[in-house]
Amino acid sequence: MTDRTELFEAALDSIPEGIALLGAEGWVMFWNRAAEAITGYASVDVLARPIPEALQPLLLDGALQGDRLPARGALIHVHHKLGHAVQAIARNRLLRDGMGGRIGTAVVFHPAEGLDALPHGEDGEGSGVAASQTEMEDRLKAEFEDFAHGGLPFGVLWITIDQARELHKTHGVMACEAMLGKVERALAHGLRPGEEMGRWGDGEFLVVSHERTPELLAAHAQVLAGLARTAEFRWWGDRVSLTVSIGAAQADRDETLAQLLERAQEGMVSSIHAGGNHITLAPGGQACLPS
């Protein structure tokens, strides 16, 4: 039989706002799923300890010491676990027992609608796992120049998340950025020594690879696509299944770096047109492989 505590926790987990329950000493006693999604901090990161320093603004400047709390919430700025700024609306309520004694505080918060906390695409910093686009451009130029002068085989994987645009439209930029971080970390587990991954436009990544043949490059893309599908993502209680579309292009010594990237992009677009969750080996999108 389900006990009251289990029902209580399930109810709070179903609420789309972040909820933190703090004991009288200020330690976190409960942290719901929406709080995890908004801040990047999992329950195991915060339970039975003071609220992380990066999230201190949730306490509304000493609200734990008084009863005069904002009724409609206050705009605050905290830092996601990945490091980027998050703007949110927070409100607190003191919790008292039947005798009026203070037993804790409830903190309720949600992302500030319409405010882009972290730009991505050309200006995105990423989560610290992937390089920025500027860093990736420098790496591409260096790798391609080395390849052109007889260096190691060189190829790129252009990866886009199939659900990124729809998630951005329905849940906003913060949800999209959190999803990108999930996929970024999942893909990082599949990178080989010497490879580098970077942000490359909205909802997209680029991987620099040294696979010896186009076929091995496509096979490596299959592995990365499988890892992306393991990135379970939840936002405000909704579970989103993630897939990626990938264009794979092996460098040719008779082409420029721009032409290589164009072929990889064309492959990625072909994968999208094939229904998503595909890998296309450039040129021409002839080898469209379900991932």
Helix (H) or strand (E) holding 164: helix 164-171
Beta strands in the chain, from DSSP E residues, in sequence order: 18-23, 28-31, 74-79, 85-96, 102-111, 155-161, 196-199, 204-209, 233-235, 238-240, 244-250, 278-281, 287-290
What is the tally of helices (H) and strands (E) in the chain?
8, 13
How sure is the predictor about 80, in pLDDT bands with cuts at 50, 70 and 90?
confident
Q: By the 8 A CB rule, do 104 and 96 touch?
A: no
Residue 116 lies in a domain: no
Which residue in the block uniquely carries the two structure tokens 């949730």?
A: 58
Band of residue 114 on the pLDDT scale cut at 50, 70, 90:
very low
Q: Is the pLDDT of residue 44 over 80?
A: yes
For residues 168 and 242, membership in a common domain is answered with: yes
In the DSSP assignment, the letter for residue 27 is B
* CA separation for the pair 246, 78 (Å, rounded): 34
Please confirm whether the linkage preceding 50 is cis (ω < 30° from 0).
Answer: no
Residue 263 — very low, low, confident or very high, per pLDDT cuts 50/70/90?
very high
Residue with tokens 């299944």: 241
Does this model's pTM top 0.85? My answer is no
What is the per-residue pLDDT across 167-225, written as a single tens digit (0 to 9) for each? 877 877 788 888 888 898 889 989 988 899 998 877 799 999 999 899 999 999 999 99
What is the end-to-end Cα distance of the chain in Å, rounded?
Answer: 43
48 pLDDT tier (thresholds 50, 70, 90): very high
Is the pLDDT at 288 greater than 60? The verdict is no
Q: Is residue 183 within 8 Å of residue 242, measured between CB atoms?
A: yes
Does one domain contain both 90 and 155?
A: no
Same domain, 161 and 97: no
Cα-Cα-Cα-Cα torsion 9, 15, 18, 24, nearest 10 degrees, comes to -40
Same domain? For 43 and 155 the reply is no
Q: Helix, strand, coil proportions of the chain in percent (round to 5)? A: 35, 25, 35
Q: What is the pLDDT of residue 39?
A: 87
Structure tokens at 218: 């496509």
Number of domains observed in the structure of the chain: 2
Same domain, yes or no, for 161 and 266?
yes
Last residue of a domain, one of 62, 89, 111: 111
Kindly state whether residues 128 and 269 are assigned to the same domain.
yes
Q: Are residues 106 and 163 in the same domain?
A: no
Bin 275: left if φ > 0, else alpha if -120 < ψ < 50, else beta: left
User: Domain boundary residue among 55, 87, 111?
Assistant: 111
Neighbours of 287 (CB within 10 A): 16
The boundaries of the domain holding residue 244 are: 121-290
| pLDDT of residue 102 exceeding 60 | yes
Query: Of the spans 61-65, 223-227, 285-289, which averages the highest pLDDT?
Result: 223-227
81: domain CATH number is 3.30.450.20
126 and 66 share one domain: no
pLDDT digits (tens, 9 = 90+) for 67-76: 444 445 677 8
Examine residue 160 and state whether it is found in any structural domain, yes or no: yes
Longest alpha-carbon distance in the chain: 82
- Report the pLDDT value the prediction gives residue 249, as an integer from 0 to 100: 95
Q: Give CA–CA dist 79/125, Å, rounded.
A: 14
Question: Is 206 found in the same domain as 152?
Answer: yes
Query: Between these two residues, 223 and 14, which has the higher pLDDT value?
Result: 223
